[in-house]
Amino acid sequence: MKFLESGKMQKVPWGVFAGICFIALFWLTAGVIAAYIITNAVAGATNSSVGLFDNWYQTLLFVLDVVFILLFAVCVVLFALKRRYKSSAAAQNRGGAEK
C-alpha cells in the first residue's frame, strides 16, 4: 500500500469516483438491457432475433459498461484501502501521541 502513502493518492476522492462510476454503470447496464429488448422487439416483428452485440451501439454500450464496472471496482477498493490506511494512520498517530 506504499502508493497510498503518496500525498497525491491521498487527495484523490475515490469515493466520488466510485459514485460516478456507479451511476455510469447503472445507466449503462440499463441501456444494454433496454437496447437488447428494443432491438429484439423490432427484430421480433419479422420473427428474427438479435443478441447482445448485433449492433455497434450495443457493443459500445456493453464495452463501456464493462469498463465502468472495472473502474467502479477499482475505485471502491481504493476508497476502502484509503479509509483503512487513514484509520490505521490515525490510530498510529493516536498511539504515538499516547506514548
Partner 1 sequence: MKIFERSVWSLITAFFAIFLIIVYVGSSIAMQYGAYINSALGIQLFQQIDNPNSDEDTEYYKSDYYYDDGAYNDAAMRANSNDVAERTASESTVLLWNNDDALPLAKDSKIGFFGIASQRYIYTGTGSGYLSYSGDKTIKDAVEAKGIDVYDTLWAGYTFLSGEYGYSLIGASASGVNDRNYGEYGINEAPWSAIEKVDNSYFAGAMLKNYSAYEDAAVMVISRNGGEDYDTNFAPNGDDRNLDGDYLDLSEQENDVLTNLTRLKAEGHIKKVVLLINSATPLQLMNIAKLDIDACLWVGMGGNKAPEQIANVLVGDTDGGVTPSGHLVDTWAYDISSAPANANFGDHTFTSSTGLPEVYTYTHNNKYLVYQEGIYVGYRYYETRYEDAVLGMGGADSAAGAYASEGNWDYREEVAYTFGHGESYTDFEFSNYKVTRNADGDYEVSVDVKNVGDTYSGKEVLQVYIQKPYTGYDKDNGIEKSAVELVGFEKSDSLAPGASQTLKTVVDDYEFKTYDAYGKGTYILEKGDYYLACGTSAHNALNNILANKKADGVRLNESLMDEAGNADLAEKITISNNDFEIFKTSPYTGAEVGNLFSNADINLYKGTKDQKIEYLSRENWQTTYPSSAVSMSCLNATMVADMQYYTGIKEDPEAEMPKYETVSEEYGQLNLVMLMEFGYDDPIWDALMDQTTYAEQTYLVTYGAHVLAGAESVNAPGGLSQNGPSGLNQANPVLKSCMVFPCQVNMAATWNKELIEELGEAFGMEMMHAGYEGLNGPGANIHRSAHSGRNWEYYSEDGFISGEMLSAETTGMMRYGAILYIKHMLLNDEERNRYGVSIWANEQSIREIYAKAFEKACAVTGLNGIMSSFNRIGCIWAGRHKGLLNDLLRVEWGFEGAVQSDAAVGRHMGVANDEATNAAIMAEALLAGQDFWLWGGSKTILDGYKDNATVACALREAARRMLYTQLHSTAMNGVGTDTVIIQITPWWESVLNVLKIVAPILVGVSGAMTVVSFVLPVVLKKKQGAQADGNE
* Residue 45 interacting with partner 1 (CB under 8 A): yes
1 or 41, CB closer to partner 1? Answer: 41
Size of interface with partner 1, in residues (CB under 8 A): 21
Contact 49, 43 (CB under 8 A): yes
Sole residue written with cell 437488447: 36
From the number of C-beta atoms within 10 Å of its C-beta (0-12, 13-18, 19+), residue 24 rates as: middle
Closest approach, Cβ 95 to partner 1, in A, equals 26
1 or 43, CB closer to partner 1? Answer: 43
